[in-house]
Structure 1
Amino acid sequence: MRRTPLIPALCCAVLISSVAIADGIDYSTEPQVPALLQRLRIDDHFSEAELQQVTLALADARRLPQLIVQEQKAPERTETWTQYSRRIDDSRIRDGVALLHEQRDVLERAENEFGVPPSLILGILGIETRYGRITGGVRVLDALATQGFEHPTRNVFFFGELADFFALCRDRGFDPRTPTGSYAGAMGDAQFMPSNYRKLALDYDGDGKTDLWSLPDAIGSIANYFTHYAPDWAWRRGEPIAIPATLTNGVLPAGAVVNSRDNFYLAGDLRRAGVQPSVPLPDDTQLGIIDLALDDGSHEYWLAFPNFYSVMTYNPRIYYAMAVTQLAQRIEAAAALSP
C-alpha cells in the first residue's frame, strides 16, 4: 500500500525557490555547507557532480523557522499524561485491529524473524502516523535544512541527518526536493529519520524498493529497528513491556527513582516496600518504576521491563513509550475478542 510515491532524482538544475528568495535565505551559502559537502565527499564518496546537485538542492530549500518551535514544543514534552494519553482512543484501537487482520501475514513474518509482536508494531504505527494516514506534509529538505542550520540546541543532530538525507536520496534515487515528512524530517509510515532509513529500512514486500510509505516495508523495518538499533536495549523476544502497579500505602517508597532508564529494582523488594504488580512476578525480576501524573492530581503507576526501554529508543519520552505500550495492549485485547 503506497500513498506517496518517490520520484527519481532529476539530473537537471532547478531554479531557486521563490519562497527562499522572499525569505532572504539561500542555504547553499551557509558557512556550514563546506563541512557538509566534505562529509559527503569523504564518508559517502560523493562525486563533484553529485555535490553540485546537493548545493542546488540547498539553494531551493525553504527556511521554515516555525518547525523549530514545533520541535521544541513536541507534545510528548509539553503535554500532561492526561492529555497525551488521549491518543489511545477507540478509533486507533479499532483501526489497529483491522490492520492486524489486513497485514497478518506480514506481521507474523516480522514476529517470527525478529521476535517483535504485531501489537507493538501496530502501537508504533498508530501513535506515529495513524497507520500511515498522517505521515507529514513538510518537505524533508526544508525541515532538515532549517533545523540543521538554525536549531539553537540540536543543530548538530539535525545537520547529521541532513547529510544522511542527501546520501539516502543519492543511494535510493530520490529527488531530495520530493520526500515529505514531519517537522523533524521523519519519513514514511514508520517515521524514520534519514540515518535510520539508510541503516535499518527493509524491502519487506519484495518489490525491489525500500519504501517506508509501504506498510509491509514499514512493518518489517520497525521490527528490524527494535532488534538492531540499540544492542543494549534490543527487543527481548517473548518478554512483556510494562504492567500496572498499585501502592499499598499510597506513596512511593522513600528514595525510589521513577521514570529513569538507569534505576531498576527487584520485584520482591518492591512488593515488600509496598509496590504491588498487577500480576505475580518472580522476586528477582528487574523493573523500573513509571509514575504518570494526572491532571486531577492523582498518579498512575506502572512497572517497566527492559522492553519498555527498548520502546524508548524510538522516542526517548516516557509518555510516548507508555502510549505505544498501552495502545499495543488495547489492540491485543480487542483482537482477542474479535472474530
Structure 2
Amino acid sequence: MIKACFLTQKSARMSEMFRRNVPALPSLRKKLCSIFLMSCMGGVAFAGDYDNNEQVEAFIKEMVTEHQFEQDQLGQWFSQVKRKQSILDAMSRPAEKVKPWSEYQDIFLTQSRIDKGVEFWKKHESVLARAEKTYGVPAEIIVAIIGVETRYGGNKGRYRVMDALSTLAFDYPPRAPFFRKELKEFLLLSREQTRQPLDLLGSYAGAMGYGQFMPSSYRAYAADFDGDNAIDIWDNPVDAIGSVANYFTRHGWKTGELVTERVKVNKSHDTSLLDDGLKPERTIGEITQAGYAPLATLEGELPARVFKLDGKKGAEFWVGLHNFYVITRYNRSTMYAMAVHQLSQSIKTKYQG
C-alpha cells in the first residue's frame, strides 16, 4: 500500500501536546520530533477502511499488471476509500413488493416532472435538436430519460463513486464480480478523462451523471458532444444529452418508428403471451390472432410483444415494439420503459403547446 503523510489538525494538536507535556526531556522531544519527520518523509499510511485488505491488494496488482497503473497511486487512493454500511444496507434490504403501474405513474408522471422537463428542453433546445439530428433519437425521449433518472440533473447522487464501487466490490459477495469489473472501468475512465477518482460522485450503486451511467456504459457510450476533448456527464448537460442519445442509437433505436400502442382484448385471448419477456419476439399478426387487437393500424410482420399493466381504471394491454425494447436496455423493466415513454409524450405535448 502507498503511504503518505500530511499534517492534519489532529496531528498538529498531538504535536502541541508533546511540547506541553515533556518540557523537561528535550532529548526525548527531539527524538520524537525526528521520528515524526522521518515518518512524513517516508510516508504514513492513511487510516482507510481498506488498508491491508487482501482483496484490494490483489485488485491493485491486477490493475498494475493489466493496465499499467502506478501501484503507489492506487494505494494512496484506496487508503482513503470508505466502506459505506448504508450502501450495504440498501443492497441487502428485502425486495419490496412490485408496485402496480398506477403507483408507478404517480411517482414519475407528475406535473412537476413534466413542467421541469419542458424547462430543460427549452433551456437546451439547440443541443437537443442537434442530438436528434445526429443520432435519430427524439428530443423528448432524451429529456424523459434524464428526468426519470435524476430529475434533470437535480439528483445525481451523493456518494463518492470510489466508495460505492469499492464497498460493493469487496464487501457485497452476491454481486462482487460485477462491481469489481465496474470499479476497474471507473479507474480506467478516470485516467482517460484525467479526473480525480475520489472527487466523482454518483448513486449508491456507482451510477453517474445526468443519465446515471455505470462506468462500463460511460466508457462504451458517453459522448464528447461539445467537442472540448473531454466527456463530462456530471456537470455538462451537453455531453449528457449526447451520451444518452448515443446510448440509444447504439442499442438500435429506429428513427421514426413507434414505441408502444394500446390493444383491446377479446374474451378468448391467449394469456401465455403476457409472459414472453422483454424482447419483441412475436409479430403483430401473431398477437392479433391470439386475441389482442392494436388500436392503431400496425403492419402484421412488425416485431412486438404484448404485456399487461394494472392501471388506475383496471387492466391495460399494450404491445411493445422494437423501440420500446430499446428503452428497456437502459433499465430492464417494462414499467420503466412505459414511464419514460409516457413522460416523453406529456413533455412533448406541453412543449409544443
- What's the TM-score once normalised by structure 2's chain length? 0.80
What does residue range 116-195 of structure 1 map to in structure 2 within 5 Å? 116-195=137-216
Give 1:305's aligned amino acid: L
What secondary structure is seen at the aligned counterpart in 2 of 1:29? Answer: coil
Give 1:246's aligned amino acid: K
Counterpart CA distance in 2 for 1:206 and 1:282 is: 41
Counterpart CA distance in 1 for 2:330 and 2:50 is: 30
Larger radius of gyration: 2
Structure 2 gap segments, 5+ residues each: 11-46
Matched, 1:33 2:56: yes
Matched, 1:101 2:122: yes
Quickly say closer, same or farther: Cα 1:97–1:263, change in 2 above 3 A.
closer
Between the two proteins, what is the percent identity of the paired residues? 35
Deviation of residue 51 (structure 1)? 2.5
- Higher-RCO chain (CA-CA 8 Å, sequence separation at least 6): 1
**For residues 14-68 of structure 1, what are the alpha-carbon distances to aligned partners after superposition, in whole Å with 9 as ceiling and x for unaligned?**
799x9xxxxx97224333224422432244322xxx3322222222111113213
Matched, 1:319 2:335: yes
Matched, 1:51 2:67: no
Match of 1:200 in 2: 221
Match of 2:244 in 1: 222
Match of 2:25 in 1: none
Quickly say closer, same or farther: Cα 1:100–1:36, change in 2 above 3 A.
same
**For residues 47-98 of structure 1, what are the alpha-carbon distances to aligned partners after superposition, in whole Å with 9 as ceiling and x for unaligned?**
xxx3322222222111113213434569998433232222111111111122
The CA RMSD over aligned residues, in Å, is: 2.8
Counterpart CA distance in 2 for 1:175 and 1:186 is: 16
Matched, 1:60 2:74: no
**For residues 209-240 of structure 1, what are the alpha-carbon distances to aligned partners after superposition, in whole Å with 9 as ceiling and x for unaligned?**
21102111100011111222xxxx42112212
Quickly say closer, same or farther: Cα 1:310–1:15, change in 2 above 3 A.
farther
Counterpart CA distance in 2 for 1:89 and 1:52 is: 49
**For residues 73-129 of structure 1, what are the alpha-carbon distances to aligned partners after superposition, in whole Å with 9 as ceiling and x for unaligned?**
699984332322221111111111222222121111111111111111011000000
4+ long deviations beyond 6 Å: 12-16, 74-77
| Number of residue equivalences | 312
* Alignment partner of 1:70 out of 42, 66, 90: 90
Give 1:30's aligned amino acid: N
- What's the TM-score once normalised by structure 1's chain length? 0.83
